[in-house]
Amino acid sequence: MKIEGKNAVRELLKTKKTVDKIVVMNGMRDAESRDLLSRVKQAGIKVQFCDKSVLDKESESRRHQGFIAYVSDYRYRELDEILSDCREKEDAFLVLLDGVEDPHNLGSIIRVCECAGVDGLVIGKHRSASVTDAVMRISEGSANHLKIARVVNLNSAIEQIKKENVWVYALELGGQSVYQCDLNGRICFVVGGEDTGVNKLTREKCDGILSIPMYGKVNSLNASVATGIGVFEAMRRRKNV
């Protein structure tokens, strides 16, 4: 897997991931680049300097900013592991994605969840984007810090989550306003895909439906935007800010 861009590489250095090497473009002399390069050398990571044409050829995003790191493929967590870590937390907070297939949405959602301090993200192995180089870049490296589980059956995952005394809510149209319900305690938000929303059977597995009030002529939000609104409203009230 390639991690591209200064911010993503900087976040990578904060993790315990094994980095094979970092390719740096010749002539990177600005203060930010020199600081990042110093951190890379302090970490004892192999550095290879190349011309811009080499990085352009290797880059998938075309926005490498002069830094490309090479690491092993992303390691997903087991759902059991995430739930075990949450077991002692009275305010555990999870997010589950049902059919989010757009890598840009997944990357943005990962960044939202990490910034909000969400305890874990659950995605499906089917009908779902996965953590790729592009997603890692879009998340600005947040995927290195957020626990992400990839499961075969989302409905079975919901049942497993509920057994841990976690209240599961679909973030979907037609429910109680997210601004008026009780969001304390152990909760999980289920966010649907870009076109389909939360699957009907999955909605039926949830304990309730929460909605974001809208007042314009378009009655839907981008999945990552909806996640951001819902997650940060929950965290605002749970943190009493």
- The token duo for 36 is 């990042």
Strand 19-25 and strand 93-98: the pairing is unpaired
**Does 165 share its domain with 91?**
yes
DSSP percent split of the chain into helix, strand, coil, nearest 5: 35, 25, 40
pLDDT band per the 50, 70, 90 thresholds, residue 195 = confident
pLDDT at position 104, please? 92
**Does 185 share its domain with 84?**
yes
Q: What SS3 state is found at 146?
A: coil
Most confident among 58-67, 144-153, 216-225 (mean pLDDT): 144-153
Mean pLDDT lowest among 92-96, 112-116, 215-219, 226-230 = 215-219
**Does 115 share its domain with 231?**
yes
- The domain spanning residue 34 has which CATH number? 3.30.1330.30
For 91, the domain range is 79-238
Q: How many domains does the chain fold into?
A: 2
Q: Outline where DSSP puts E strands in 63-135.
A: 67-71, 93-98, 120-124
**Quick one: average pLDDT of 188-202?**
90
For the stretch 76-91, pLDDT in tens is: 999 999 999 999 899 9
Last residue of a domain, one of 52, 71, 90: 71
- Check whether 232 has a pLDDT greater than 70: yes
**Does 16 share its domain with 116?**
no
- Check whether 237 has a pLDDT greater than 70: yes
